[in-house]
Each structure stands twice: as C-alpha cells, then as structure tokens.
Structure 1
C-alpha cells in the first residue's frame, strides 16, 4: 500500500455505490471517506470495505467534506475521488506521478465531457486564467500542503478550485481520464448561479 497517497472520498447518501467505489482501490491506497451527514448506510458500507470513515453529524456540503478529508490525510499527496464511481481508479497513478516527481502541485483528471451547460460556462471563464479543459472535475491529485491551505470559500469547486490554487502559486497540470456511466439523477445545479459570482471575483483580483 502506498504511504505517499491518500484517497479522500466525500460522500452523501451513496449507499449502494460507495462500497464498490472503495473496494476498487482500498488495497492500494489509504482511503478516507467523509460521510457528510448521510441518512442511509453510506458510513457502514464504506467502513465494511476497509475505508477510514469520518462522520459529519449533519450535511455541510461537498466543500466542507473535502476540507475535513484534507485535514485527516497524512500523506504527501491527496487524491479526491467522487463517491459514485464515475471515475476509474486505474487513472490515479497518472495524476499522482507529476506531483511525486515535483513537476506539479495540482493535477486534474479531465473528463471526456462536461455534463451541465452551467459548468461548461464556469469552465470557460476559469480558462481565462488557467489553461485546463476541465476545471470542475472532482478527480484531482494535489499536495496536502496546498490542500489544507485552500480556503474554498465559494458555492462549489467548479472553476474556483483551480483559480485559488493558481493564486497560491501552484503548478497546475491536467491528464485525460476515463469516466463511467453512473445511474444517478442530476438535478439543476442552482449553486452555479452563485458560483459565477465567485469565479468572476477570482478573475478580477
């Protein structure tokens, strides 16, 4: 098992998916699942597969779960991974290697397609400052020292995660990754309206 990398998985009501997600990489990497106030069996399912589980008593949102996971990790590199299993664990080494080689501080796992029009708009704006194709991906590797310094004081991470990292002087890269179809409803992301304000705030700094 790698001591250099910890996989952080924020999860909210992912019972039925989180177990198989954790199972794919728990033998290779320490896994921290942050159960963000789930009302189903997410925590028990992740724990049964060997993950370290941190349970937040109430739902505080994706960013708060990420930050809790960053603080819990003790490795040099942290990988963020979506609980629904959309990403492929075999791509983790591609994200991690440039950081361990001291070439990058943050590496994004770019998806083949960005599903929501609002997310594509935020991405186009973020590209005015940082030349990456998928600034809203939930699949990333970054130095823990960078991770714990990020304030992430925004509505979500779309666009602003990379913009804040760039403002902190991070060397940012990107690799193409595979995604898998997940049977999960995607509602309208109303938070992207608020997030537009935050992206513009970073751009005019």
Structure 2
C-alpha cells in the first residue's frame, strides 16, 4: 500500500505548525489544507516541503478535511492536527490494522478528553460503535472510505465514526499519548448542534 498521505487542516497555525510538519515530511507525503488563514500558515507549511492547498476563505475544519481527502493520492489517509498535539510516531501503529485488512478506520484514542460536551457526545456514540474517543483528530482510514463520507455536520465528534459505521466500515482504535500544547480552548458551541446530529445518526441510520 505504500506510505499514507497525511492530511493536515490548518487555520492560523503559523506559530505551531512548523515542528510537526518537519517531522512528518521526513517520511510521509503531507497535504496541508490552509483554511483561509490570515497569518503565515501557508508560507511556513511550504517551507517544510509539505504540499499546501489553499482554501480562498475560512470554510471550517470539515471542509478542509474533505479537500484534503480529495487531494490525497495514497490508499490510506491519516488526519493530523496542525497544533502539534499528536505524535508522528503513532502513525505506523494506526495504519497497521488497515494494511493487515483488519480495519477500515482506526482512531487514535486520547487518554484525556478535555471538554465535557465532547465526552457526552462520545457516550452517545458508544451506543452504536464501541470506541472511546470519537472526536480525535488523529485517524487513519482507507481513502476509498474517506472520499465517500458526506461529513455534513457541525463538527466530526461522533458523526465521523457513525457515518463510517453506516457505510459498513470496520472501526477500531489504538490508545495514543498527546503532547501538551499551549493554546486557547474556547467553548465548543457547535457541540449543541452536534448533539442533534449524533441523535439523527443514531435514530435514522
């Protein structure tokens, strides 16, 4: 299958994105989707050797993910947050069950999930799919699955996994460690709408 394409959605991450990208591009093809940043995110990303795709305006995390899936050329795609929270060393562990044809989507499950609203959405998701971290930003999946996902909700918490399950994907997770990152964590207002989207997936699909 070769190495996966690593898709990195990024919005105003010029101060944090260089270090993780430098580690990633040493081994993997990397596609950074600059989501209409107003800082030097795109320039910093290009300086590392990553492929940079620019969204003309800020369209949000999900739109950036979908653009990255379209741009990826490998059979396996890995999503990776731009802020440096994830460790590139975990990627090989995530892709192994896909290469071995055991799973189609592998989540990098964090030991700590900071927001109570996200923990609540996880609990709802587990009514259908037995995973502990449905909102992680570190995932590995088959590109054929990735490009089929509609991802038509406010964020990916719960619904990314539930939509993949509805399409028959075999889903699992591997525990990962995250790296401490200094960044503001505002209130995730989108989780209010996401609650109803998760219910929709649970009740209708």
Give how far 1:103 is off. Answer: 0.6
CA distance in 2, matches of 1:3, 1:82: 22
Alignment of 1:69-80 (within 5 A): 69-80=68-79
Structure 1's consecutive aligned runs of 4 or more residues displaced over 3 angstroms after TM superposition are none
Give how far 1:97 is off. Answer: 0.5
SS of alignment partner, residue 21 of structure 1: helix
Give how far 1:3 is off. Answer: 3.6
Alignment of 1:102-113 (within 5 A): 102-113=101-112
Question: Deviations along 1:130-174, whole A, 9 cap, x unmatched?
Answer: 000101101000000000000000000000000000000000010
- Structure 2: where are the runs of 5+ without partners? none
Count of paired positions: 204
Give how far 1:21 is off. Answer: 1.3
SS of alignment partner, residue 204 of structure 1: helix
SS of alignment partner, residue 187 of structure 1: coil
CA distance in 2, matches of 1:85, 1:12: 13
Which position in structure 2 is the counterpart of 1:139? 138
Which position in structure 2 is the counterpart of 1:18? 17
TM-score (norm 1): 0.98
Q: CA-atom RMSD, angstroms?
A: 0.8
CA distance in 2, matches of 1:12, 1:40: 9
Give how far 1:25 is off. Answer: 1.4
Question: Deviations along 1:98-145, whole A, 9 cap, x unmatched?
Answer: 001111000000001000000000000000000001011010000000
SS of alignment partner, residue 145 of structure 2: helix
TM-score (norm 2): 0.98
